[in-house]
Structure 1
């Protein structure tokens, strides 16, 4: 069994590999629906609303993948701790196990923080690849937390022609730290990064908008964004959370989710839009999911706003974790231990 800490996972997992692994899994899932099994994740609220703690959550996410030769199980255990940034710790902590279903032997135990960030970002990258216009020149980052960092990297991976990045964060300090870190770690992207104090200044000229926040109400309206903008929304992962306004959702020509079942229970933006008597959008207007997009059962609208909403699913984590576990076995990286 290989033990893979965050440093090792970060060294051996790159964005393109994660994108490829998820796309391959989606094609496989479409061709062989019974090969991938991923029940809805279990979400337990943690902490309490008091003066010392913000409410967080614990998630348990199992999935099995049959790759045509062998079946594997990947289980991710996640704890979301909103107060961690003040402790200089990541908001999301995670651990993933990968086991061989023939014998039950555990092949790898790995840190799941980076895999969660890369997997989430890769979903936005895939959505951008199929939904955003091909000549994008700029992207806005709304919310500069941990998820947003790799999300920008994923968008630049599939749209390397982008030259301008606009940042907006509730705290200017967070935006400054994001800019410094991104320019240091991803110097291969020759982009001009600007920090905006007003969210509308960040989004008004953007061809793509990445949104990753814990907001509870829509952050902008469609009169402040381009008529053909593509939006990747990965925050608002609980029913009472919301970062995309009902007005933007209703005015989107195409709305795609990563996971059909999970989105109906967790995508706060869409749940609230559907439930609102003042919003014309309902679940019947949903264009489809990421699998349908990748397999071209649905295709991009020729014009208009496109919206991708992600809540995450265990199958995506499993695809990336299995790739890392197989690479660790083949290239013998990490620490080998008897179990």
Structure 2
């Protein structure tokens, strides 16, 4: 077994690679060529946390994996990741664990890549302004994915605490020092979304974090943060304006995300309003953007096949290049 760290991954795997891995993963899901049970979740109400277990197997991809990802938003107060995680990559023929991979970074990569892929497929060709609401552990990769999908002039960042937002923006600028894009901290969501072509919301909020009435026609919105039925960062007023709603997995979203569960239950949206899964679009089964005025929503909760394919690609490259630390039990 080899141990593959975040630094190891950075040497061999880019955001563009992650977007391609997600593309493969969503097609496997749509073709029903993978086994992906709904994740097992155990709540820790005392510590505002959640333990999540996500297994997956694909005969076609010749890979099996189990990701353990624990969501503890308050960890940021003590300098820890809000999403500590590891991915166990398993040999599908023998059941032997072949690699233990930094799941926190794999999660950030493949979650960002889902937004990146959605923007590549559904955003207008000409985009200049991006916006992100949320500055937690997922936010940097979300920005990197946004920039991998479209050549933007400016990305606006909004968080709950402006000082923290400014500090985060400094980190982003350092990470993107070779890019010409302007990264700007703003105080309000209204400032962030004004004239934006792309918008990402990545927060654990129970209340909408932006006003859908302020979005311009043609925007593509990727909602990442709501992973429980009581969480709703997406303003439901957007459903009166948007023309298409895509999912990473409709069944998973309807099981887990208040962004869709709440308006679906109260009748704001109906089954007929759902366009379908992103993998179905990739297979040519459903339509994509039809004009530059359409507002499009992509809702993702993450599915284990993303971890499966991403971890598998990372492992293969690590073996080829001799990256990682050998561990013998």
- TM-score for both structures, normalised by structure 1: 0.92
Whether 1:328 aligns to 2:321 is no
Whether 1:244 aligns to 2:234 is yes
Indicate the residue corresponding to 1:46 in structure 2. Answer: 44
Residue 198 of structure 1, aligned match among 188, 212, 217: 188
Whether 1:283 aligns to 2:267 is no
Is the 2:30–2:277 Cα contact (8 Å) retained in structure 1?
no
Q: Deviations over 1:68-118 (max 9, x none)?
A: 6xx321100011111111111110000111111211221111110000001
After superposition, where does 1:4-19 map in structure 2 within 5 Å? Answer: 4-19=4-19
Root-mean-square deviation over aligned CA pairs: 1.5
Label 1:12 to 1:254 Cα distance change in 2 as closer, same or farther (>3 A).
same
Is the 1:145–1:174 Cα contact (8 Å) retained in structure 2?
no
Q: Deviations over 1:117-160 (max 9, x none)?
A: 0100000001001111000001011111111110110010011x
CA distance in 1, matches of 2:103, 2:87: 5
Secondary structure at the residue paired with 1:153? Answer: helix
CA distance in 1, matches of 2:26, 2:71: 27
- TM-score for both structures, normalised by structure 2: 0.95
CA distance in 2, matches of 1:28, 1:94: 24
Indicate the residue corresponding to 2:289 in structure 1. Answer: 300
Residue 159 of structure 2, aligned match among 161, 169, 173: 169
CA distance in 1, matches of 2:21, 2:137: 22
Label 1:214 to 1:108 Cα distance change in 2 as closer, same or farther (>3 A).
same
CA distance in 2, matches of 1:143, 1:22: 22
Label 1:267 to 1:47 Cα distance change in 2 as closer, same or farther (>3 A).
closer
Label 1:322 to 1:79 Cα distance change in 2 as closer, same or farther (>3 A).
same
CA distance in 2, matches of 1:308, 1:30: 16
Indicate the residue corresponding to 1:258 in structure 2. Answer: 248
Give the deviation of 1:7 after TM superposition.
2.3
- Size of the alignment, in residue pairs? 327
Is the 1:156–1:189 Cα contact (8 Å) retained in structure 2?
no
Residue 93 of structure 1, aligned match among 71, 78, 84: 84
Residue 113 of structure 1, aligned match among 104, 110, 129: 104
Q: Deviations over 1:24-45 (max 9, x none)?
A: 23334545x2x31111101111
Give the deviation of 1:57 after TM superposition.
0.5
Secondary structure at the residue paired with 2:53? Answer: strand
Q: Deviations over 1:190-231 (max 9, x none)?
A: 111222112101101111111101111122233211011110
Whether 1:223 aligns to 2:243 is no
Gaps of 5+ in 1: none
Is the 2:154–2:181 Cα contact (8 Å) retained in structure 1?
yes
Give the deviation of 1:236 after TM superposition.
1.1
Whether 1:208 aligns to 2:198 is yes
Of the structure 1 ranges 92-101 and 281-290, higher mean CA displacement relative to structure 2 is found in 281-290
Indicate the residue corresponding to 1:63 in structure 2. Answer: 56
Is the 1:42–1:61 Cα contact (8 Å) retained in structure 2?
yes
Is the 1:140–1:206 Cα contact (8 Å) retained in structure 2?
yes
Gaps of 5+ in 2: none
